[in-house]
Chain A
């Protein structure tokens, strides 16, 4: 991808480093805290220690305890306090240590943050960005592996963002923090350190060898609601986000299929134009997500595609997802929508 095309300011002269996703997120937080004194960062273990995944490492030292601090272990309090701070005029960026722990904060997100602008007719807003590592593939068991994005895409008034590369993670997080609406920013923790092919028995590829680990210094942003075409192709359209982008890329390359892979990046509001254009071209759609199947975001994608592109479809829409079970520990890879499950769906699409 071209850094030059995406940035709102010229990045031609910006020094470019190779960063992994955690470093890119840390960089985004640092850039925004420097630009806007209203940005505050807090959550469990994020202060002195710098976060269990190190996403906030060094920030307290740089910006002080008033702007970067640890909180009690109380997600309702973390989100609730963020809503109050947002009403004051701050731009809070709370961290929920694992997406699996976000549920005690749901009432504050769904009933409060998401509706603040609406219910007060714009008098009060919730310009908060909730960062949270999500997804499995790290042997986290059922409480450190979930993908609850569909809970949030179902809520009116919340934007849901999932980056798939270090470059995107930085640019999207900056946009999320600048956005005046509440944003859920789910970070696929399986790919914090390197893109993942889905072959769990092979060594991890570090980000440094991936072109999208080239992250410019300083400020740049990637607009929310805009998908990224990872790879152009003719045979079928893959709709995915996060970790599954890399799994899809690897599987389809192995299979030698000329697929068009679309990284949605923003689930709500979705970039429907990019989706429609691709489906009209290929006529075949493969939706992939790691989350459980029933009422997952794939169901919405599938409905949107058939409503808007039905007469272009040449095969039934395929959904490849996690199973409708809690995320198992020992059988993690049996749950994970890996190369076999994706391969079967691709075969069905190609034979149709």
Chain B
């Protein structure tokens, strides 16, 4: 038996008291913004390892930044996906359509047509270019800011607006918060709202695809803030253990509502670097460079589809607008950040690239923008025929109780009767339309 304590660390008198580190973003409201501390390598510098390489060959890329479009707007380097101009124009159009849609829906919320909206301004490439790099039947497990994927896959805008308005044509029967879409037909998984829960689900879906000897892969998106959730760790662990054909995307847009990326660990390591500890492939990409995003996703998708296993892609980008219509970023960050963001705007960059190729003009772009505004306007009008939120044109009352279970149990049938009775008590003339 020891006659004295095991530890001999007693001489602590000379040490300063312990200090808690609470991260603080570099800029607050009113501050001038200087992003010169960010390491932004020139385009075209990084090597592109073979898609079948050992995961650790990619790990140096986790501290770099894959960029394809240079300052002269030309595509350079090993990651240039060499897309044809027609594909580039389609990609540009979907990104611009996503932005036009966001602008219109944001205004709709301000006009009281719905309760809530979330824009993806500045992040369009992370969704749209990724969607272009996946097969249309690859299953995506999105977060709430990947409307670009749904639009890229041709989901009707009117259906999206019906959902946003929770009206009687809403395919989700008015049950979900606006923008929490779901479309099995478009291999677009039901959006949760609880953060990062879709990550282990994507791993599980990918495992199922492998169990069945399928050829489809899964891809999932979360923000850098929600990469702190335990679900992300669960997903990486399952994916690496079972070599699941899944691509994990972390959209690092610098802000999780009011918390800057430092609260998810960005002061110590990149988000792509998480791949290192799990032994999976990792890529870090300029999220405002649509060509780089496409190239990274294509690399990861090809790898997953050939039993090469999971890849983690960090998309380094900037959330140009508030978190949602319920947020005022002016309260916590400098308005100059958006102007000073060194990676520019994804739509403008792709536009200039196409122009540099001689495949696009300012006039064409202006005409396209007008056309897209009209397209969104027409879809909005169509959706409004089925009502906007709070104007009575919702799904029948009984639907509130359906789909809790496959079959309605007795207690829900009783509660449905009660809900309808209450309605009749308040409005004796009420009839379900």
Contacts and interface: CB of A to CB of B under 8 A. Distances in A.
Interface of A: 40, 66-67, 71-72, 74, 76-77, 79-85, 87-90, 92, 104, 107-108, 111-112, 116-125, 156-157, 159, 179-181, 225, 268-270, 272
B184 A124 contact: yes
Among A40, A80, A85, A124, which residue has the most Cβ atoms of chain B within 10 A?
A80
Contact of B205 (A87, A111, A121, A181): A87
- Complex A-B, nearest 6 residue pairs according to Cβ-Cβ distance, in ascending order: A80-B200, A84-B204, A81-B204, A77-B234, A269-B409, A88-B208
Among B139, B171, B234, B241, which residue has the most Cβ atoms of chain A within 10 A?
B234
Nearest to A69: B242
B350 interface: no
B237 A74 contact: yes
A82 B173 CA distance: 26
B404 interface: yes
Given A80-B201, A119-B175, A123-B182, A181 B406 contact: yes
B189 A80 contact: no
Nearest to B395: A121
Chain B interface size, as a band, is: 35 or more
Contacts of A92: 204
Interface of B: 139, 141, 171-173, 175-176, 180, 182-184, 189-190, 192, 194, 197, 199-209, 211-212, 218, 230-231, 233-235, 237-238, 241, 403-406, 409-411
Nearest to A40: B211
A152 to B, nearest CB: 14
Contact of A107 (B189, B197, B209): B197
B211 to A, nearest CB: 5
B204 A85 contact: yes
Given A40-B211, A118-B175, A121-B175, A84 B205 contact: yes
B238 A77 contact: yes
Contacts of A124: 182, 184, 189-190
A20 to B, nearest CB: 31
A269 B192 CA distance: 25
Contact of B190 (A116, A159, A268, A270): A116
Given A77-B238, A104-B230, A118-B403, A84 B201 contact: yes
Contacts of B405: 117, 157, 159, 181, 269
Nearest to B201: A84
Contacts of A71: 238, 241
Contacts of B209: 88
B187 to A, nearest CB: 11
A66 B211 contact: yes
B231 A76 contact: yes
Contacts of A270: 411
B229 to A, nearest CB: 9
Contacts of A122: 403
A120 B188 CA distance: 11
Given A88-B209, A111-B197, A270-B411, 19 more contacts: A71-B241, A72-B237, A74-B238, A76-B200, A76-B230, A77-B235, A80-B234, A80-B238, A81-B207, A82-B204, A87-B204, A88-B139, A88-B204, A90-B211, A112-B194, A117-B405, A118-B404, A121-B403, A272-B410
A158 B28 CA distance: 46
Given A71-B238, A112-B201, A120-B182, A84 B207 contact: yes
